[in-house]
Amino acid sequence: MCGIVGYIGNQSVVDILIDGLHQLEYRGYDSAGVAVQCGEKINVYKAEGKLENLSSVLIQHKKEFTAATLGIGHIRWATHGAPTVLNAHPHTCNCGSLVIVHNGIIENFKELRAELEKKGAKFRSQTDTEVVAHLIAYKYEELKDLTKAVREATKEIDGAYALCVMHNDEKDKLVATKRNAPLLVGVGEGEFFLASDVPAIIKHTKRAMYLNDNQVVTLTREKMVLTDAEGNILPQKVETLPWEPVALSKMGYKHFMLKEIHEQPDVIRNILVGKLHSVDEPIVLNEVKLTKETLKNLNRIQIIACGTSLHAAMIGKYIIENFCGISVDIEASSEYIYRKTVTDEKTLVIGVSQSGETADTLTAIKQAKAKGSHALIITNRPDSAMAREADSLIPVSAGIEVSVAATKSYIAQVVSFYLLAMYMAEIKNSLDSATLTSLKADLIQIPQKIEQILSDKNDIKECAKKYSGTRDFIYIARGINYPTALEGALKLKEISYINATGYPAGELKHGPIAMLDESMPVLSILMTGSVYEKLLSNSEEAKARNARMIALTNSKDAKLNDLFDFIIRVPEVSELLSPLIAMIPLQLLAYYIAEYLGKDVDQPRNLAKSVTVE
Ligand code: F6R
């Protein structure tokens, strides 16, 4: 997380930096800052909170940087040190000649800080980044060369970083480097851009070079020089980015989240094009590079992901096991990477990530690949670091998701799992053709059914209003919709800050039932099918403890009216596809509760869209 940008050229630098940071706001919004070469000195401007606060600061200093054409910028998601102005980037050395912005975490910063303090470094912040500013400055005193100083300093740093550095004694230069954090150079005519991600530069150029770990790039207006950790000159792989600049607009919706929820029917239709032609034709999934023979003999799959993507992975497990009879393990990436995992060349490892940059998942994938596993990546960003690690890549094509709370990317991931599971089932011959045909027919109908839900949201709005005053919320479900309960609860927590938890309903009686009383809403995801009656009994148990009962259901069962205080109805859907339908009202419920409470829906506190720190 955190976003960094840099620019050297002939245009007004501050406008470019601020626009770039605006495009990277999904990476953090705790504070923002820019450093600009203003004649004989470098000026640093910072502000706590969102980017608009920095813009207000800059307006007051406009005259100082009107002619400036070189600078760096940063948008912060706080790791070390509170989100204050002092902790905001850019950070400088003692005299302010050397200025840096950083994305990542310096793991040995305490040791480095102690050593640097002994040498006379004066620290002003609590950040890990400031040690890097002082460290490079000391190297510079010896080497009198910014590129060399950066290269030597990074040899002493443990952890992850993308760094952009400028120095007042080398006024026409930017130096950047990275390890385990994204960074790319945009190449223009007589100008270069640096950024954590494509949206920050795509307006200016489509030509770009992704930096690899430990490479150092030195930019002047005339040229770029790429070197390795030893200082050897490297060839430059400048590529044309497969992106068009998009004007990110809310299209009349109050928030990006609401717009993105409404995009879901079309997202599904787009995914199905070219893959699911008709109910009688096999699924086409050329993206899967495993041979049919390997797929047939596969006996183990591991799916690794975080957060919402982990919930999509849980549904993936359910359907792959159901359709293909292959055993699937699910794991949170952050747990996977710090234990002895049993993974080998016979295991298919699937990484799921909206951003394709999540540090934990990326590390887990690299770890599994090192053990010989085939890595299949399901991501919304085919240009991401994870996509570059993929042996097979399934892009989910949900389009840019701006709201921090994932909605359309989740549905797109789940649809991709349905296609993958059906594709494998067809190769393995593990599902009878009548079931496959009816699954395909049902899947084609899903967008229309979601549109039906979206066309009348009054009940959901009413439910949101009625329950928005609650402090806690419980979601229960069984079977294939247990992950839906987890994801519904996560959505509510993220954007309304209500303490919401999802449980497999059968687990209620093993502890959580103790929390139930007349103040506790319990939302039961009651979709017809194999566990309907079981879940009904679990709901009765909760009702008997006076909980405030809500049903989300596709059932017309009259006895629900006595059991539940509030019922949200959804269209008929088969049990196996029901997570795609059940999730939509839960996204909307979270949205309307947060909106009713006046929360910052698209940029909830403490979160960031792309989590590039472990
Ligand atoms: C929740 C949310 C997060 C992400 C998680 C993983 O709405 O968006 O829980 O799902 O941070 O991110 P990706 O999918 O980019 O790996």
Look up 463 and say whether it is catalytic: no
Residues sharing a CB contact under 8 Å with residue 306, sequence separation 6 or more, in sequence order: 332, 333, 334, 353, 358, 360, 361, 611
> Which is more confidently placed, 140 or 347?
140
The residue type found at 264 is Q
Ligand 1 binding pocket mutation candidate from 354, 409, 490, 610 (most atoms within 8 A of CB): 354
**309 CB less than 6 Å from ligand 1?**
yes
Three-state DSSP at 64 gives helix
What is the spatial distance between Cα 368 and Cα 295, in angstroms, rounded to a whole number? 18
Centre of ligand 1 from the C-alpha of residue 270, in Å:
22
What is the arithmetic mean of pLDDT over 212-239?
A: 97
Is the Cβ–Cβ distance between 214 and 179 less than 8 Å? yes
Q: Which of 2, 164, 324, 463 is catalytic?
A: 2
> Which is more confidently placed, 251 or 427?
427
* Helices 146-154 + 129-143 axis angle, to 10: 130
Q: Which of 46, 275, 543, 609 is catalytic?
A: 609
Q: What is the pLDDT of residue 313?
A: 98
Is the Cβ–Cβ distance between 482 and 504 less than 8 Å? yes
pLDDT tens digits, one per residue of 185-204: 999 999 999 999 998 999 99
CA distances from 589 to 89, 465, 490 (A): 37, 9, 12
Phi, psi of 430, deg, nearest 5: -100, 0
What is the spatial distance between Cα 424 and Cα 88, in angstroms, rounded to a whole number? 49
Position 342 pLDDT exceeds 90: no
**353 CB less than 6 Å from ligand 1?**
yes
pLDDT tens digits, one per residue of 308-337: 999 999 999 999 999 999 999 999 999 998
Q: What is the largest CA-CA distance in the chain?
A: 82
pLDDT band at 83 (very low <50, low <70, confident <90, very high): confident
Residues sharing a CB contact under 8 Å with residue 339, sequence separation 6 or more, in sequence order: none
Phi, psi of 395, deg, nearest 5: -75, 130
What is the spatial distance between Cα 274 and Cα 287, in angstroms, rounded to a whole number? 12
The minimum-distance atom of ligand 1 relative to the CA of 310 is 10
Phi-psi region of 301 (alpha: psi -120 to 50; beta: other; left: phi over 0): beta
Centre of ligand 1 from the C-alpha of residue 423, in Å:
26
Q: What is the pLDDT of residue 29?
A: 86
**365 CB less than 6 Å from ligand 1?**
no
Q: What sign does the dihedral 378-380-385-391 (CA atoms) show? A: positive
pLDDT band at 247 (very low <50, low <70, confident <90, very high): low
**407 CB less than 6 Å from ligand 1?**
no
What is the spatial distance between Cα 53 and Cα 272, in angstroms, rounded to a whole number? 43
Is the Cβ–Cβ distance between 131 and 110 less than 8 Å? no
Q: What is the pLDDT of residue 268?
A: 97
What is the spatial distance between Cα 355 and Cα 383, in angstroms, rounded to a whole number? 10
CA distances from 222 to 172, 192, 411 (A): 10, 9, 46
**386 CB less than 6 Å from ligand 1?**
no
What token pair was written down for 470? 């609650």
Look up 609 and say whether it is catalytic: yes
Q: For 210-245, give the DSSP string.
A: EPPTT-EEEE-SS-EEEE-TT--B-----EE-S---
**92 CB less than 6 Å from ligand 1?**
no
The CA radius of gyration of the chain, in Å to the nearest whole number, is 26
What is the spatial distance between Cα 509 and Cα 360, in angstroms, rounded to a whole number? 34
Three-state DSSP at 247 gives coil
What token pair was written down for 52? 């608009």
Q: For 430-466, give the DSSP string.
A: -S-HHHHHHHHHHHHHHHHHHHHHHH--HHHHHHHHH
Centre of ligand 1 from the C-alpha of residue 410, in Å:
9
β-pairing, 472-477 vs 300-305, is unpaired
pLDDT band at 154 (very low <50, low <70, confident <90, very high): very high
Centre of ligand 1 from the C-alpha of residue 354, in Å:
7
Ligand 1 binding pocket mutation candidate from 77, 196, 255, 306 (most atoms within 8 A of CB): 306
Ligand 1 binding pocket mutation candidate from 26, 308, 602 (most atoms within 8 A of CB): 308
Q: What is the pLDDT of residue 246?
A: 66
pLDDT tens digits, one per residue of 34-63: 999 999 999 999 999 999 999 999 999 999
Q: What sign does the dihedral 258-308-547-470 (CA atoms) show? A: negative
**611 CB less than 6 Å from ligand 1?**
yes
Neighbours of 39 (CB within 10 A): 11
Give first-to-last CA distance, the chain, whole Å. 10
β-pair partners for 502: 475
What is the spatial distance between Cα 17 and Cα 469, in angstroms, rounded to a whole number? 41
Q: What sign does the dihedral 562-566-572-578 (CA atoms) show? A: negative
β-pairing, 41-48 vs 31-38, is antiparallel
What token pair was written down for 463? 């439910």
pLDDT band at 273 (very low <50, low <70, confident <90, very high): very high
Is the Cβ–Cβ distance between 129 and 35 less than 8 Å? no
Is the Cβ–Cβ distance between 376 and 369 less than 8 Å? no
- Measuring from atom 3 of ligand 1, which residue has the nearest CA? 307
- Measuring from atom 5 of ligand 1, which residue has the nearest CA? 307
Position 507 pLDDT exceeds 80: yes
- Measuring from atom 11 of ligand 1, which residue has the nearest CA? 307
| Domains (range + CATH), the chain | 3-244 (3.60.20.10), 256-452 (3.40.50.10490), 458-596 (3.40.50.10490)
Number of Cα atoms under 13 Å in the Cβ half of residue 408: 26
The residue type found at 76 is R
pLDDT tens digits, one per residue of 514-547: 999 999 999 999 999 999 999 999 999 999 999 9
Centre of ligand 1 from the C-alpha of residue 307, in Å:
5
Q: What is the pLDDT of residue 343?
A: 87
- What average pLDDT does the chain have? 95
Is the Cβ–Cβ distance between 99 and 136 less than 8 Å? no
Ligand 1 binding pocket mutation candidate from 358, 403, 408 (most atoms within 8 A of CB): 358
CA distances from 568 to 124, 419, 585, 590 (A): 54, 28, 8, 14
Centre of ligand 1 from the C-alpha of residue 277, in Å:
31
The residue type found at 166 is M
**494 CB less than 6 Å from ligand 1?**
yes
Position 339 pLDDT exceeds 90: no
β-pairing, 70-76 vs 31-38, is antiparallel
What is the spatial distance between Cα 109 and Cα 152, in angstroms, rounded to a whole number? 16
What is the arithmetic mean of pLDDT over 459-474?
A: 97
In 512-572, DSSP assigns E strands to: 521-526, 548-553, 566-569
Position 569 pLDDT exceeds 90: yes
Centre of ligand 1 from the C-alpha of residue 550, in Å:
27
**524 CB less than 6 Å from ligand 1?**
no
The minimum-distance atom of ligand 1 relative to the CA of 610 is 15
